[in-house]
Structure 1
Amino acid sequence: MGLHLSQIDEADELLTDDPLALLIGMVLDQQIPLERAFAAPFELTRRLGRSLDAADLAGMDPEELAAVFSIQPALHRFPAAMAQRTQKLCQIVIDSYDGDAARVWTGAADGKDLLKRVAALPGFGIQKAKIFVALLGKQLGVEAPGWQEATAPFGDAGSYLSVADIVDPQSRDKVRDYKKQLKAAAKTAVS
Structure 2
Amino acid sequence: MGMSLPIAPEANELLNRDPLSLLLGMVLDQQIPLEKAFSSPWVLAQRLGHAPTAEELAEFDPDELIAIFAKPPALHRFPKAMAVRVQEVCRALVGAYDGEAAGLWRDAADGKELLKRVAALPGFGKQKSQIFVALLGKQYGVQPPGWREAAGGYGEVDSFKSVADIVDGESLTKVRAYKKQMKAAAKAAADG
| Runs of 4 or more above 6 Å deviation | none
Q: Which amino acid aligns with 2:67?
A: A
- For structure 1, the 5+ residue unaligned runs are none
Could you tell me whether the CA contact under 8 Å between 1:66 and 1:84 is conserved in 2?
Answer: yes
Q: Which amino acid aligns with 1:89?
A: V
Aligned to 1:141: 141
Aligned to 1:120: 120
Separation (CA, whole Å) in 2 of partners of 1:93 and 1:6 = 28
Asked if 1:85 is matched to 2:78, the reply is: no
- For structure 2, the 5+ residue unaligned runs are none
Q: TM-score by structure 2 length?
A: 0.97
Aligned to 2:162: 162
Identity in percent: 61
Separation (CA, whole Å) in 1 of partners of 2:23 and 2:187 = 31
Q: CA deviation at 1:6?
A: 5.1
Aligned to 2:96: 96
Separation (CA, whole Å) in 2 of partners of 1:91 and 1:80 = 17
Separation (CA, whole Å) in 2 of partners of 1:16 and 1:100 = 15
Counterparts in 2 of 1:10-89, with a 5 A limit? Answer: 10-89=10-89
Could you tell me whether the CA contact under 8 Å between 1:20 and 1:53 is conserved in 2?
Answer: yes
Count the aligned residue pairs.
Answer: 191
Separation (CA, whole Å) in 2 of partners of 1:183 and 1:41 = 27
Separation (CA, whole Å) in 2 of partners of 1:6 and 1:65 = 27
The 1:21–1:6 alpha-carbon spacing in structure 2 relative to 1, beyond 3 Å, is: farther
Separation (CA, whole Å) in 1 of partners of 2:3 and 2:57 = 24
Q: TM-score by structure 1 length?
A: 0.97
Query: What RMSD over aligned residues (CA atoms) do the two structures have, in Å?
Result: 0.9
Could you tell me whether the CA contact under 8 Å between 1:69 and 1:76 is conserved in 2?
Answer: yes
Separation (CA, whole Å) in 1 of partners of 2:122 and 2:190 = 30
Could you tell me whether the CA contact under 8 Å between 1:6 and 1:37 is conserved in 2?
Answer: no
Separation (CA, whole Å) in 1 of partners of 2:2 and 2:57 = 25
Aligned to 2:106: 106
Q: Which amino acid aligns with 2:3?
A: L
Aligned to 1:129: 129
Aligned to 1:189: 189
Could you tell me whether the CA contact under 8 Å between 1:45 and 1:51 is conserved in 2?
Answer: yes
Q: Which amino acid aligns with 2:165?
A: D
